[in-house]
Structure 1
Amino acid sequence: MVKPKLAPPADDKPVKVTVELPAGLHRDLVLFGEILGRAGGQGAVEPVRLIVPILERFLATDRGFAKARKGDGK
């Protein structure tokens, strides 16, 4: 079984944002939520609940962003 690199999203007070996703990306998020749910022994995770943890993980692992954030954006 494939183990996703993303943990199930934690409950936190959200800030409302409206965004339009391409249909293909939405399908991928639905599939990812199903896989994540199976891996965690739960039901599928709703795509909207995946967006924040995916973005957080992306930003946390982006070396260019980390450098720029520290003020060394050379």
Structure 2
Amino acid sequence: MTKLKLSAIPDDRPVKVTLDLPAALHRDLVAYAAILARTAGDKTPPDPAKLVAPMLQRFIATDRAFAKARKEQKIG
């Protein structure tokens, strides 16, 4: 068997998730999108739903307790 330099390619296709947000959180996302657009000089704010994935990624990436627990438990 040939030994390749690459191993299996991870499945990184987006996964669709449907969830219900509290109205107050949705209003905050709308406001955040508006401020983000204004800061970037855009006239049209992004769809608030498009903010959820980057926000979650940022949250997880900066959660030190999560990173430590993940490393200790060798998860992912």
**TM-score bracket for this pair, using the shorter chain length:** 0.7 to 0.9
Residue 26 of structure 1 corresponds to which residue in structure 2?
26
C-alpha RMSD over aligned residues:
1.3
Detail structure 1 runs of 4+ shifted over 2 Å in the superposition.
Answer: none
Which runs of 5 or more structure 2 residues have no equivalent in the other structure?
Answer: 1-12
| Partner SS for 2:72 | coil
Which runs of 5 or more structure 1 residues have no equivalent in the other structure?
Answer: 1-12
1:1-52 Cα distance to aligned partner (Å, 9 max, x none): xxxxxxxxxxxx6321100000000000000000001111112011100000
- Alpha-carbon deviation of 1:69? 1.6
The percentage of aligned residue pairs carrying the same residue is: 57
TM-score by length of structure 2 reads: 0.73
Q: Number of residue pairs matched?
A: 60
Q: How does 1:21-60 map to 2 (within 5 A)?
A: 21-42=21-42, 43-60=44-61
Distance 2:35 2:14 in 1: 24
